[in-house]
């Protein structure tokens, strides 16, 4: 381990204590809970130096000190020791992210798993790139006024959507619509297929036209959703006690509802497989001033990342290895999927 100077050692103790309980740390507490072997006056003087250097600050006039973003950054870069993943977390990754999962389901499972294990917000970049090709289409009767639209793309992802229709759907209508869907969509880029379907719909009438338009609307909606990042765990942030006291944390939820700036932030950061940390104001996005992001790339072509968003005083020693492990498992799965016959 790197030999630390006295100021670095005291900063390390302050950050560790703050990450544990979120409370300001006093010189008295440091002397009582550690074996520094120096006087309380020396501790106070060192804390004054750290404050002058911008690594700690006083939240109140007579309080102890809390680390600044710069202080936490120095701690992470030079002093943080990462913990090995627990057996429970390793088992959860293996169980929830098996190699045979198609891309969309893999991204959903990974995002939900990360949120469940940490109690924080997970963000997964859009599962699909533009230009995915449709391989197979089917339309199955569920009931008199309900049909199941099934679309399988080139990655093996299967889309199931129930279509509702006010009138009775007879067999000739169902067969005609299925033929039109296959003619327009199979072997086509998703967006090109939707455009072809729109032209076909103009040439039809009655129940056939109405049903084709219903299927087209669903396909358009799903195409848009496939290019949106996946967000899990927002409710956990909203239930946190700090959320109700801090308007800035409420702005984070608004940001998650329209995450395009998060994608712009995280995409250039995750250009290699090393996990990255963005602490508070380092993001340059004001609503993120009181949260941190741990992110890692899981795919290079097309680019894909997974991230964890939580309070600045999250347990970095545990969560950085977790995000890295989930990203590595996703990377392994996608390589396995691409190599499968």
Given this model, what pLDDT does residue 235 score? 83
Quick one: angle between helices 247-257 and 260-269, nearest 10?
A: 90
Q: How confident is the model at residue 236 (pLDDT cuts 50, 70, 90)?
A: confident
> Mean pLDDT score of the chain, rounded to an integer?
87
Given this model, what pLDDT does residue 157 score? 79
- Size of the chain in residues: 341
pLDDT tens readout for residues 259-298:
888 889 999 999 888 999 999 889 988 889 889 999 999 9
Given this model, what pLDDT does residue 242 score? 61
Higher per-residue pLDDT: 1 or 11: 11
Given this model, what pLDDT does residue 121 score? 94
Q: pLDDT above 70 covers what percent of the chain? A: 94
Asked if pLDDT for residue 341 goes beyond 50, the answer is: no
Q: pLDDT above 90 covers what percent of the chain? A: 40
Structural contact between residues 327 and 306, judged by C-beta atoms closer than 8 angstroms = yes
Ranges of H-type helices in the chain: 6-21, 27-33, 40-52, 69-78, 87-96, 103-118, 171-185, 190-203, 206-226, 234-239, 241-245, 247-257, 260-269, 316-339
Asked if pLDDT for residue 97 goes beyond 60, the answer is: yes
In sequence order, the β-bridge partners of residue 278 are: 293
Structural contact between residues 73 and 282, judged by C-beta atoms closer than 8 angstroms = yes
Rounded Cα distance between 326 and 116, Å, is: 13
Given this model, what pLDDT does residue 64 score? 86
Higher per-residue pLDDT: 61 or 275: 275
Given this model, what pLDDT does residue 245 score? 66
In sequence order, the β-bridge partners of residue 295 are: 276, 307
Q: Which of 148, 149, 153, 124 has the alpha carbon at shortest distance from 308?
A: 124
Which of 121-125, 197-201, 242-246, 257-261 is modeled with the greatest confidence? 121-125
Identify the sign of the CA torsion 86, 91, 96, 101: positive
Structural contact between residues 52 and 295, judged by C-beta atoms closer than 8 angstroms = no
Asked if pLDDT for residue 1 goes beyond 80, the answer is: no
Q: How confident is the model at residue 232 (pLDDT cuts 50, 70, 90)?
A: very high
Given this model, what pLDDT does residue 241 score? 58
Higher per-residue pLDDT: 112 or 228: 112
Taking residues 140-154, report their average pLDDT: 86
Asked if pLDDT for residue 237 goes beyond 80, the answer is: no
Out of 68-72, 83-87, 238-242, least confident range? 238-242
Q: How confident is the model at residue 2 (pLDDT cuts 50, 70, 90)?
A: low
Q: Which of 114, 106, 115, 91 has the alpha carbon at shortest distance from 299?
A: 106
pLDDT tens readout for residues 185-208:
898 888 888 899 899 889 988 888
Given this model, what pLDDT does residue 191 score? 84
- CA-angle at 296, arms to 295 and 299, nearest 5°: 140
Asked if pLDDT for residue 338 goes beyond 70, the answer is: no
Higher per-residue pLDDT: 83 or 129: 83
């Amino acid at each position: 381990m790197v030999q630390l100077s006295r100021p670095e050692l005291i900063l390390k103790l302050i950050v560790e204590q703050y990450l544990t309980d979120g409370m300001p740390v006093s010189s008295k507490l440091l002397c009582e809970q550690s074996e520094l072997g120096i006087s309380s006056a020396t501790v106070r003087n060192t804390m004054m130096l750290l404050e002058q250097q911008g690594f700690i600050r006083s939240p109140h006039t007579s309080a102890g000190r809390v680390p600044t973003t710069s202080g936490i950054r120095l701690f992470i870069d030079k002093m943080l020791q990462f913990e090995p993943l627990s057996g429970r977390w390793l088992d959860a990754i293996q169980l929830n992210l098996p190699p045979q999962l198609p891309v969309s389901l893999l991204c959903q499972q990974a995002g939900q798993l990360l949120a469940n294990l940490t109690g924080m917000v997970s963000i997964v970049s859009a599962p699909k790139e533009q230009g995915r090709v449709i391989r197979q289409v089917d339309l199955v009767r569920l009931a008199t006024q309900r049909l199941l639209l099934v679309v399988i793309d080139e990655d093996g992802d299967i889309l199931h959507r129930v279509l509702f229709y006010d009138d009775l759907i007879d067999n000739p209508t169902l067969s005609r619509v299925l033929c039109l869907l296959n003619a327009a969509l199979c072997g086509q880029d998703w967006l090109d297929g939707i455009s072809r379907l729109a032209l076909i719909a103009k040439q039809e009438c009655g129940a056939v036209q109405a049903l084709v338009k219903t299927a087209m609307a669903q396909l358009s909606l799903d195409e848009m959703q496939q290019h949106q990042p996946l967000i899990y765990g927002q409710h956990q942030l909203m239930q946190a006690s700090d959320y109700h006291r801090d308007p800035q944390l409420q702005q984070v939820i608004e940001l998650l509802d329209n995450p395009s700036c998060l994608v712009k932030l995280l995409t250039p950061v995750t250009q290699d497989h090393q996990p990255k940390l963005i602490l508070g104001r380092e993001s340059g996005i004001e609503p993120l001033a009181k949260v941190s992001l741990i992110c890692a790339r899981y795919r290079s072509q097309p680019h894909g990342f997974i991230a964890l968003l939580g309070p600045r005083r999250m347990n970095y020693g545990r969560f950085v290895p977790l995000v890295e492990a989930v990203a590595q498992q996703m990377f392994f799965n996608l390589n396995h999927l691409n190599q499968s016959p």
